[in-house]
Chains A and B, each alone.
Chain A
Amino acid sequence: MKRRSFLGLMGAAGAGLAAPAVAPVAARAAAKDFRGYHDTPGVLFDGTRCIGCRKCELACNQVNNLPEPEVPFDNLEILNTRRRTDSATFTVVNKFDTPGGPVYRKNQCNHCLEPACASSCFVSAFQKKSDSAVDYDETVCVGCRYCMIACPFEIPTYEYHKAFTPRVMKCTLCGPQMRSGELRLPGCVQACPMEAMIYGPRHELINLARRRFAAFPGRYVEQIYGEHEMGGTSWMYISGVPFTQVGLREDLGTKSAPELTAGALAAVPVVVGVWPVLLGGIYAINKRKEKIAAQEQQEAVAAALAKAKAEAEENLTTSLSKAEEAANRRLDNEVKKAVKEALAKKEEELKAADATKTDEEEGK
């Protein structure tokens, strides 16, 4: 047994062992969060087949009744400038110069499985349909253009020149035309002379891509762009050159748009629930503090009053007793004085009596 295939077998066995353990958990999570996109249709774009003929652009323009472009579709010179979608162009093919020569890549709405445009729209104007198309409802759109901020693939465009009925414009995956039976395949897929695009159930497209990787070793970068990017897209790409070289960003990560904002949204009930309680509590504490302060102040005032009163009473009693004492002393003094005076008077009388007596005696 060759070492490579042995490792491969080991890997497969490992995956097989791990799968039953993981699957129920994933299924349970999926049952809650995702409807599952296993059978939904998608498109696989094979960059090794595209020749940059712009037939898909033409078809898109006709199917969607878009205005004539400035540069006609048979002019391939325009491929030398990088273009993006705009309100009159839902898809563009760009030419990329790579070390191995020019490579072409078609660009349009990727009809994400968990679309950023849909999760960002505040009137739910975008909706992911069961036929994979991400639909836009112009009758509710406010024109805030947050969807354009949110889309990681820079797809939605806006009719800036319209005063009263501006719309967000983007590829519809020909959802309306296919639902009405007018088309069997998206216009661009049908028009491609190279069969660079294949329309079918998403999981089958993924299998097909893997089969091509196996059938043409060395031809592809063995990765399917869109299988996991931003949570996965209905439109997927395989390429012979690294995806960044054909204008597909590889730094988007695998988190879907709703996952990116889930944290912030989850904080809402926390704030709504906790803040009023917390603030009410702080208020109550402050009120209580104030109340206690007021009470303490009252008590202090009362105590001060009582003290003042007691002091005053004491003062009064002391001064009263002092006054009494003084009065007594004065009385005493008066008495003493009176006694003294009386005594003195008596003495004088006695003296006078004595003197008269002597006089009488002398005058005899």
Chain B
Amino acid sequence: MSTVTNDDFKSYLTPFNIVTGLIIIAGLIVTVIRFTGGLGAVTNLDDNYPWGIWISFDLLCGVALAAGGYTTAAACYVFGFKKYHSAVRPAVLTAFLGYALVVMALHYDVGRPWRLPYPIFVQQGTTSLLFEVGLCVFLYLTVLFMEFLPTLFEWTGWRKLRDALVKMTLVLVIFGVVLSTLHQSSLGALYTIAPSKLHPLWYSAYLPVFFFVSSIAAGLSMVIFEGSLSHKYLHRMMDEEYNRNHNDVVLGFAKGCSWVLFGYFALKMVGLTYDNNWHYLASGFGAWFLVEMLCFVALPAFLYAVGARDKNFALIKWTAILTVLGIVLNRFNVSLVAFNYHLPSEAKYFPAFMEIIISVFIVTVGVVVFRFVSTRMPVFFEHPDYKGQH
């Protein structure tokens, strides 16, 4: 019984496992270099570009794309769209992992990671928007963890603890929405302090609003995107209820996301007019801005609407990917492309190979943990002992 045969070993050598294994090994190697040689040993950061891809992708995009947690939970518990119930758990799990990974990524990026609790516990810089981000992310991570715990307790069978937590669901959800509103918008507000460094087409006093509204689109699209991925690869874990509601969720979210994107587009135009920046559209940055606005905001808004009307699930899925790419593009534009636009191009930053490895490594860790949890715990199905109880 207890002998490990060759066949057992072979069954672990799936292409998925080999690729993830290699990425994780590479990530660990770079980790060692980073923490022995300093930031300079692995990154292309310099005095003009103190923030690189770890902030742009891991933090700004990571947080935006993890917005599915609060949007789905709010839709289900606050706005009473009960048919989205089955989507809550996967979304909460994704958000929790997303934020946990953001915090993990921050350990690479900041100079002295062991001091990350300082702003909260040692000395508070309350005038800083980064303080707000830090505090909210810390609190929200706690909230997400508590929202996720019932899943874990159902798996381990600790009914009392689970029931106590489930009773707090609504409070947690509202708390989560408040915290998300704050830090999603603060991430944009971080850049309001640097009007001279960010190109006027991207700089706006409305940055916090832009970031918040686009995070809703990001969250909804990620739920659709991830839902269809999981549908394909984790189908065996899903119960009837999940599958029955899946299409409803996709259609509803597509419709909602279409509205949000249209609204976002309109807001951006208001911002453009308010700052009187239309004349910049004729420049190179203007063309790039138009690409972002037309191909990655207006187009998906339209495609979502068509997809929802025609119940065209393939179209909706592709639109979700387009939207997610659009959010990533926007965060990159704000934090890298349009940032320090006045510098000569040879002074511009491009991520180093090892920086990219770390980002890929962190995403991979997320996928592995997600797979581990969702194939064991009641994420895509209702635990038989707790049917219809939450």
Contact = CB atoms under 8 A, between A and B. Distances in A.
Contact of B119 (A142, A158, A271): A142
B122 interface: yes
Contacts of B130: 120-122, 144, 146
Given A140-B118, A149-B194, A124 B125 contact: yes
Interface stretch (B146-154, B175-183, B365-373): B175-183
B115 A290 contact: no
B131 A122 contact: yes
A161 B123 CA distance: 26
B47 A264 contact: no
A267 B136 CA distance: 14
Nearest to A230: B196
Given A142-B111, A271-B182, A286-B80, A261 B119 contact: no
A282 B182 CA distance: 19
Nearest to A164: B112
A125 B110 CA distance: 15
A263 B195 CA distance: 14
A101 interface: no
Interface string B73-106: 0100111100000000000000000000000000
Nearest to A255: B195
A160 interface: yes
B208 A145 contact: no
Interface string B154-187: 0000000000000000100011011001100110
Interface residues of A, number: 61
Interface stretch (B35-43, B307-315, B325-333, B382-390): B35-43
B128 A121 contact: yes
A260 B192 contact: yes
A252 B37 CA distance: 37
A158 B47 contact: yes
Contacts of B123: 123-124, 140
Contacts of B194: 116, 149-150, 152
Contacts of A84: 47-48
Interface string A122-165: 11110000000000000011111110111010101111111111
A121 B125 contact: yes
A251 interface: yes
A157 to B, nearest CB: 4
Given A149-B190, A260-B193, A275 B181 contact: yes
Contact of B174 (A120, A161, A265, A279): A279
B273 interface: no
Nearest to B135: A122
B342 to A, nearest CB: 8
A52 interface: no
A85 interface: yes
B277 interface: no
> Interface residues of B toward A: which range?
35 or more
Contacts of B124: 122-124
Contacts of A149: 50-51, 190-191, 193-194, 197
B362 interface: no
B205 interface: yes
A249 B194 CA distance: 13
B196 A249 contact: yes
B192 A264 contact: yes
Contact of A154 (B48, B74, B116): B48
Interface string A72-88: 00000000000011110
A86 to B, nearest CB: 6
Nearest to A126: B125
A52 B205 CA distance: 40
Nearest to A169: B47
A254 to B, nearest CB: 12
A149 B130 CA distance: 11
A275 B178 contact: yes
Contacts of B134: 122
A142 B118 contact: yes
B129 interface: yes
A283 interface: yes
B135 to A, nearest CB: 9
A159 B112 CA distance: 12
A160 B46 contact: yes
B322 interface: no
Contacts of A206: none
A61 interface: no
B190 A163 contact: no
A162 B38 contact: yes
Contacts of A282: 78-79
B189 interface: yes
B35 A286 contact: no
Contacts of B41: 161, 163
A276 interface: yes
A264 B40 contact: no
A160 B122 contact: no
A154 B47 contact: yes
A240 interface: no
Contacts of B109: 144
Contact of A283 (B78, B113, B175, B185): B78
Interface string B248-260: 0000000000000
A264 B125 contact: no
24 contacts: A84-B47, A119-B127, A120-B125, A122-B131, A123-B122, A140-B118, A144-B109, A145-B110, A149-B50, A154-B47, A154-B48, A158-B111, A160-B46, A161-B41, A163-B36, A166-B39, A261-B127, A261-B193, A264-B192, A264-B208, A275-B181, A279-B177, A279-B178, A290-B80
Interface of A: 84-87, 116, 118-125, 140-146, 148-150, 152, 154, 156-166, 249, 251-253, 257-258, 260-261, 263-265, 267-268, 271-272, 275-276, 279-280, 282-283, 286-287, 289-290
Interface of B: 35-41, 43, 45-48, 50-51, 74, 77-80, 109-113, 115-116, 118-119, 122-125, 127-132, 134, 170, 174-175, 177-178, 181-182, 185-186, 189-197, 205, 208
Given A163-B37, A257-B193, 7 more contacts: A120-B127, A125-B125, A146-B130, A166-B111, A261-B129, A265-B132, A283-B170
